[in-house]
Amino acid sequence: MKDIAPAKPGKFEDPHVTAKGEMRAHVRLTDPQTLWFNTGTLCNITCAHCYIESSPSNDRLVYLTAAEVEDYLDQLEARNWGVSEIGFTGGEPFMNPDTIAMARASLARGYRVLILTNAMRPMMRRSVRAGLQALQADFGNRLTLRISVDHHGAEFHDLERGAGTFEKTLAGMRWLRDAGIRMAVAGRTTWGETEAQARAGYAALYAAEGFAIDAHDPGETVLFPEMDETADVPEITTACWGILNKSPADVMCASSRMVVKRKGAATPSVVACTLLPYDRQFELGTTLAEAEGAVALNHPHCAKFCVLGGASCSA
């Protein structure tokens, strides 16, 4: 009887070797800078290409509480990670009734706080606006809201987020401007523009609206590459660092982790990446101590977004 050779694995299947049998790259947590909290996947809108599939009905990740965030802040101090920034993402963070309290707890411990938001109705509720004004009064520019503005013009932004969303987001940004709350912007690079053209477009928008945001600073205007899990992208091997002239320290999982709470779970857990909250291979445990291990770059996003795209969710 003829021996049948075992089938070779496809791409991004084995955490240790690639489909070609080469050693897969791993990244260690070498310089923790940001601890992210996913406040829950519920959102007031449904975007066409949301990496986390947030919507008014997606509660796969449920609301974190202020007490749970405080516990991880305690762990940060105990582990001495040296983190300087606490980030809040969703879903839409301002859907979570504890977001202001979570931000205040983080700011009160001396961290910078970054909140990712669409600046629409959840943020514009009276109680949230009052909370943001109080945070700004107490902590000033240590608080930043990064607003999702997918394109500098209404046509493409609304194509992604729904008719009329561009103007609603601008209304929220005008309120933030007038309240003196620091803003940044997250855009997309899917519109067939060069980076120079995109940044020029954002610069014109900021100038017209009087927004104190630097269109040419990649920390203030972040342009994210598109993420398509079905795209054919190369796997990252240990040899790629030298070939690409990159360092593992440049990849987001070398400097950040994210806390999530899955629906039905008794406690939150820590995942390696803000982009991969559902993929269980990137779940590292329930504590920060368990989350200090190396991460296998075993997903298309690892290659396209982080290594080849050079992008990062942190400021």
Q: Residues 148-178: pLDDT tens digits?
A: 999 999 999 999 999 999 999 999 999 999 9
What pLDDT sits at residue 311? Answer: 63
pTM flag (> 0.75): yes
What pLDDT sits at residue 122? Answer: 98
Provide the CATH number for the domain formed by 31-232+253-300 in this structure. Answer: 3.20.20.70
Give the chain's mean pLDDT.
93
What pLDDT sits at residue 213? Answer: 98
Name which residue leads in pLDDT, 7 or 160: 160
What pLDDT sits at residue 315? Answer: 63
Instruction: Dump pLDDT digits (tens) for 78-131.
Output: 999 999 999 999 999 999 999 999 999 999 999 999 999 999 999 999 999 999
Instruction: Dump pLDDT digits (tens) for 190-236.
Output: 888 999 999 999 999 999 999 999 999 999 999 987 766 667 889 99
- Residue 1 pLDDT greater than 80, yes or no: no
Please tell me the distance from the alpha carbon of residue 26 to that of residue 6, in angstroms, as a whole number. 25
- Residue 252 pLDDT greater than 70, yes or no: yes
- Residue 179 pLDDT greater than 80, yes or no: yes
Task: Note every long-range contact of 156-159, with CB atoms under 8 Å and residues 24 or more positions apart, other chains counting.
Answer: 156/191, 159/48
What pLDDT sits at residue 8? Answer: 52
Beta strand 112-117 with 85-89 is parallel
What pLDDT sits at residue 2? Answer: 44
Cβ(122)–Cβ(99) below 8 Å? no
Q: Where are the domains of the chain?
A: 31-232+253-300
* Token pair belonging to 83: 């983190």
Residue 5: band (very low, low, confident or very high) from pLDDT cuts 50, 70, 90: very low
Name which residue leads in pLDDT, 114 or 189: 114
Half-sphere exposure of 170 (CA within 13 A, CB side): 16
- Residue 305 pLDDT greater than 90, yes or no: no
Cβ(204)–Cβ(216) below 8 Å? no
Instruction: Dump pLDDT digits (tens) for 34-65.
Output: 999 999 999 999 999 898 999 999 999 999 99
* Token pair belonging to 259: 């806390």
What pLDDT sits at residue 226? Answer: 72
Residue 280 belongs to what H/E stretch? none
